[in-house]
Amino acid sequence: MRKVIPIAQPMINKEEIEAVVAVLKSGVLTSQFGDGPYTKKFEESFAKYVGARYAVTVNSGTAALHAALLAAEIGEGDEVIVPSFTFVATVEAVVLIGAKPVFVDIDPKTYTIDPAAVEEAITSRTAAIIPVHLYGLMADMEKIMKIAREHDLVVIEDAAQAVGAEFAGKKAGSFGDFGCFSFYGSKIITTGEGGMVTTNRRDNAEALYAIRSHGFGRHHSSERLGHNYRMSEIASAMGYYQLLKLPRLLEARRKNANMLTNMLEDIGRLELPFEPKGYKHSWYVYTVRLRGCRAGERNKVVAKLVNAGIQAEVYYPTPVHMAPYYRRKFGFKPRSLPKTEAAARQVFSLPSHSGLTEEDIRYISQKLRKIIG
């Protein structure tokens, strides 16, 4: 029986294992303010890599988004413009701080938020925009930042899937007021669970340091509303060594994506991933579109791939505005975001991670070609 080809595969080697063992032996597993020695090293290295002045560790990508919104002092009565074609955490964080999500449609080629739709959605209550860099491709941050500056809006980049991605020579997380990353087990680099927030402003960084540790400030008391969002030293040790190998992991993913493109580009019904000029995809997953299909047909293709040992996935079959909770709470209606809803019916993702062999990629391509016919 052939091995299963997973959609994601963490690349953990002896460096991470030895670092974690050293932390366990040291006895310093965490710190009161989340500023242990490995955490500081990880933050400094990550900020330098991204090209931001500050990087603040937290314990998940969702925590990163929530902390950024708290630091920006967005709350009740505010509106935050978001795509619906995203993992629910993007929107969840907005609702948790008491603001209202305002959903806009996507660019059907890149699957990222449409800047023109963003501009049309701005009202007197709009406080922020959260562009999501989806599948490893960045949103059009030049247009989004221009709109934000014209309307004095906060920009929080959801870069959970896009560590290492670039646009116009700058990395994800270096454009907005905040950049939010996830190091969940399926991500390009992982700490098991974990996240990071980048920013170029000292006051933002200080707010984030306080928020991740119950709002504690210089006087060791709660000076603002906070949470327990600290990253442990074990996770930070993993993250530090994962970051060192990130360029190598990205290079392998790009090579795998290029091979998939070469092997699939003549299948007429498949629309392959689009990398616009000036962008650098990080290839979190390799997302294709089955043109003109309904969800049922796409789902059958995915099921056949899974039965063949290829862990294809659908991200995301239910756009957030159509999820039961958000429909009940806010009254969002189906068919209000046609490009988003079409993508949700037609796209599916294939593995492109650095653990794939050329044999794996050939097998994926051959099976997909046979299934689609």
pLDDT of 24 higher than 70: yes
At 34 the pLDDT is: 84
pLDDT band at residue 7 using 50, 70 and 90 as cut-offs: very high
Q: Is the pLDDT of residue 298 over 70?
A: yes
CATH number of 14-242: 3.40.640.10
The stretch 93-121 carries a mean pLDDT of: 98
- Is 187 an active-site residue? yes
Task: Give the pLDDT of residue 75.
Answer: 97
- Out of 2.40.50.140, 1.10.1510.10, 3.40.50.1370, 3.90.1150.10, select the CATH number for domain 246-372: 3.90.1150.10
**pLDDT above 90: percentage of residues in the chain:** 94
Per-residue pLDDT at 55: 98
Sequence spans of domains, the chain:
14-242, 246-372
Mean pLDDT of the chain: 96
Q: What is the pLDDT of residues 249-277, one digit of tens each?
A: 999 999 999 999 999 999 999 999 999 99
pLDDT at residue 33 above 90?
A: no
| pLDDT at 333 (0 to 100) | 84
Token pair 């999820």 in the structure block, residue: 323
pLDDT digits (tens, 9 = 90+) for 314-361: 999 999 999 999 999 999 888 899 999 999 999 999 999 999 999 999
Q: Indicate which residue of 40, 170, 187, 367 is catalytic.
A: 187
Q: Judge whether residue 32 has pLDDT over 90.
A: no
pLDDT at 219 over 70: no
Give me the mean pLDDT over the 278-285 stretch. 98
Beta-carbon contacts of 362 under 8 Å, excluding residues fewer than 6 positions away, are: 263
What integer is the mean pLDDT of 179-192? 98
* pLDDT (0 to 100) of residue 1: 59
pTM equals: 0.97
One fold for 14-242 and 246-372: no
Structure confidence at residue 31 (pLDDT): 87
Mean pLDDT of 139-163: 98
What does the pLDDT average to over 22-47? 94
Encoding tokens for residue 320? 């957030």
Q: How far is CA 51 from the centre of its chain?
A: 18
User: Does residue 2 surpass a pLDDT of 80?
Assistant: no
- Span 65-92, pLDDT tens digits: 999 999 999 999 999 999 999 999 999 9
The predicted structure's pLDDT at residue 134:
98
